[in-house]
Structure 1
Amino acid sequence: MSGQALKDLNTMPASERKNDNSSKGNFTKPHSENGNLEEKHRKATASVVETVRSGDESVKTDVEVGNIEVEYIESENLDDVENVDMTLKALLAGLDSKDWVLVCESLNDVRRISIFHKESMFNMLENVIPLIVKSLKNPRSALCKTAIMTSADVFSAYSDHIIDSLDPLLLQLLLKSSQDKRFVCEAAERALIAMTAWLSPILLLPKLETYLKHRNPRIRAKASMCFCRSVPRLGVEGIKAYGIDKLIQIAASQLSDQLPESREAARTLLLELQTVYEKCSVPTQTAVPEEDSVPTQTPVPDEDSVPTQTPVPEEDSEMGSWEHFCQSKLSRLSAQAVLRVTNVAREGIALGS
């Protein structure tokens, strides 16, 4: 820098130098009319200065913008809130704030309350969940991931009680799980796993069916994976009640989908359905005695005799086979594709044994 330039800089009024420095992107604390929110903002700004633990060194979550880094605290490491009533009063305003640091802190408060005081927030869920969805839509990755982790804790705490508010939340999680940012994608996948673990499959499966036909192939793939995880939780009787024929048609349609995740989920589901079908269709014959029949003495078998079983007619066995079931419920091409998958898997098991 020239001597003249240094001289000009030194003679510049202090007010002008201050204004010049103010354009460098420093954070200014927004004015809040609510005293609780103002205090929470000060605490949040002071406390949210930790490092990202995503495992992806290439990811930088909003560090440069305001010298603020966000820590993603695992559920088991969260502490209880200091004052439940005060936290609940400020919760909705904090979640709806324009200050993303305050929103992150409020989302973590939702997580804490879900874990330690879930009954106290039960009546607020219909207002809390839309604000979680709002944060999921935010382009700021740090805020989005915090909202994803909040979703997982809400699933764990409230399970079926949020089923009526699930649709927008589910859509955003499916979208985020198919994003390019790995640490966001992985968090969303964990939240979807929590969803399939905590929500009743009989309520969740109809919600997932909608997204199996979504125009976005990535959303279809993630929905297929969730669907595949949920079906076994129905159990044998639950699958029968839901309809094996309906489930096999869904799996067959996903078998020809665009992405390999969809196809792999469909293959896994088909093997599960085949196992359940064969358990349910084991032919048994029970002799029904006539009303006027005279009981006869049961002959004592010889020591060297071999017990025999009444053979099942071959025609009945074929009619009740997995192959016949597939052919009766699916188109010819779909049935062939399904049988190819299940037969190859069975042959692989036989070779490995």
Structure 2
Amino acid sequence: MQEVMSENALRDLNTIPGSEKKNESSSKGSFTKPYIGAATENLEEFQKKNSVSLVSPPMNGNETANTVLETGIPEVEYIESENLNDLEDVDTSLKTLLAGLESKDWVLVCEALNNVRRISIFHKDAMLDILGDVILLVVKSLKNPRSAVCKTAIMTSADIFNAYNDHIIDSLDPMLLQLLLKSSQDKRFVCEAAERALVAMTKWVSPVLLLPKLQPYLKHKNPRIRAKTSTCFCRSVPRLGVDGIKAYGIDKLIQIAASQLSDQLPESREAARILLLELQTVYEKFHDLTPTVSEHPDMGSWEHFCQSKLSPLSAQAVLRVTNIAREGLVLGS
């Protein structure tokens, strides 16, 4: 009886059309088509059924987010700005841009983010009218728990800073907060990308506009965010120039730097130290300290200035930092 059943089963199997066999086999296979900025497959339903997640890239400098092949999720390539190609149809891309950024399909979101980057690089004027809406959706992607979307959004932020400079200032606050958060997390490849975006921000956004945006985060409850903000603040101040620092208020800047000098993390304290040395140099440039015959020759000194603007303890800490640096320069010469 068993032999008859086996023969019947074998005969039934042999009569299955080839196309059905192929379909059965392919259903157990994987979709490994790489994503390089142009997605044509909608994987939303597949993702819902399989509950898959992207695997973080290895920590060996490889800039591709590799995926588990069994899941059939496409690979994501992080394309550096200089390697991005221009769009073939700018008008069509602009019309579908916001919808792409709002898509529930993360692959399509990554494609839209890379299109934002392309437009920023090659056709920045074309996106000015919708720039505010675009930035809000980029911020949404910065919050995305999927690393591929988040990192692509970070790279998009850097290209936006580079292209639009001060045009983004009214939309900067939510983007700034997310970049500070991402630069403060433990996932290294996301953290490093966020730090590069913050460097682009301090390079391309005018310091007179950026410094007031940064200042509230110097008092953030998270010490890592305070540290990243201190570093940004330290990079931005010298871009004001001597006259700009004087106009902004060197007394206000020295008070900010002094408060960071006693902060929890070494990164904050080092940024404060560098900023104080910059402020000392600037102060001495626009206060000619050449000895003159005067009843009070020390009234214009750096020491007197610090003591007049800071509490005794803060002034002592600031002078200790700047005097040690000065003594080091003297010994070095």
TM-score range, shorter chain: 0.7 to 0.9
1:212 match: secondary structure: helix
| Distance verdict in 2 for CA 1:103–1:240, change over 3 Å | same
Answer whether contact 2:227 2:268 (CA < 8 A) is retained: yes
Aligned partners of 1:149, 1:61: CA distance in 2, in Å?
14
Higher mean displacement: 178-187 or 230-239:
178-187
Counterpart in 2 of 1:195?
201
| Distance verdict in 2 for CA 1:59–1:123, change over 3 Å | closer
Aligned partners of 1:79, 1:57: CA distance in 2, in Å?
23
Counterpart in 1 of 2:189?
183
- TM-score normalised by L of structure 2: 0.83
Aligned partners of 1:264, 1:283: CA distance in 2, in Å?
27
Gapped regions of structure 2 (runs ≥ 5): 1-5, 33-37, 44-55
One-letter amino acid of the structure 1 residue matched with residue 234 of structure 2: C
Matched, 1:350 2:330: yes
| Distance verdict in 2 for CA 1:237–1:57, change over 3 Å | closer
Please give the per-residue CA displacement for 1:241-294, whole angstroms capped at 9, x wherever unaligned.
00010000000000000000000000000000000111111057xxxxxxxxxx
| Distance verdict in 2 for CA 1:324–1:26, change over 3 Å | same
Matched, 1:42 2:23: no
| Distance verdict in 2 for CA 1:244–1:57, change over 3 Å | closer
Counterpart in 2 of 1:295?
none
Matches within 5 A, 1:1-353: 41-42=39-40, 56=60, 61=65, 63-64=67-68, 65-283=71-289, 311-313=292-294, 315-353=295-333
Answer whether contact 1:220 1:262 (CA < 8 A) is retained: yes
Aligned partners of 2:30, 2:136: CA distance in 1, in Å?
30
Counterpart in 2 of 1:293?
none
Aligned partners of 1:83, 1:20: CA distance in 2, in Å?
39
Aligned partners of 2:86, 2:41: CA distance in 1, in Å?
16
How far did residue 58 of structure 1 move?
A: 9.3
One-letter amino acid of the structure 1 residue matched with residue 117 of structure 2: R
How far did residue 53 of structure 1 move?
A: 8.2
Aligned partners of 1:322, 1:258: CA distance in 2, in Å?
26
After TM superposition, the runs of 4+ consecutive aligned structure 1 residues lying more than 6 A away are: 9-12, 18-27, 57-60
Tell which structure's C-alpha radius of gyration is larger: 1
One-letter amino acid of the structure 2 residue matched with residue 330 of structure 1: L
Aligned partners of 2:188, 2:131: CA distance in 1, in Å?
29
Counterpart in 2 of 1:3?
none
Higher mean displacement: 170-179 or 59-68:
59-68
| Distance verdict in 2 for CA 1:151–1:201, change over 3 Å | same
Aligned partners of 2:245, 2:61: CA distance in 1, in Å?
44
How far did residue 57 of structure 1 move?
A: 6.3
Gapped regions of structure 1 (runs ≥ 5): 1-5, 28-39, 46-51, 285-309
| Distance verdict in 2 for CA 1:60–1:87, change over 3 Å | closer
Give the percent of matched residue pairs that are identical in Structure 1 and Structure 2: 71
| Distance verdict in 2 for CA 1:44–1:282, change over 3 Å | farther
Answer whether contact 1:62 1:140 (CA < 8 A) is retained: no
How far did residue 82 of structure 1 move?
A: 0.5
| Distance verdict in 2 for CA 1:24–1:118, change over 3 Å | same
One-letter amino acid of the structure 2 residue matched with residue 325 of structure 1: F
1:63 match: secondary structure: coil
How far did residue 69 of structure 1 move?
A: 1.4
One-letter amino acid of the structure 2 residue matched with residue 344 of structure 1: I
One-letter amino acid of the structure 1 residue matched with residue 306 of structure 2: C
How far did residue 316 of structure 1 move?
A: 3.0
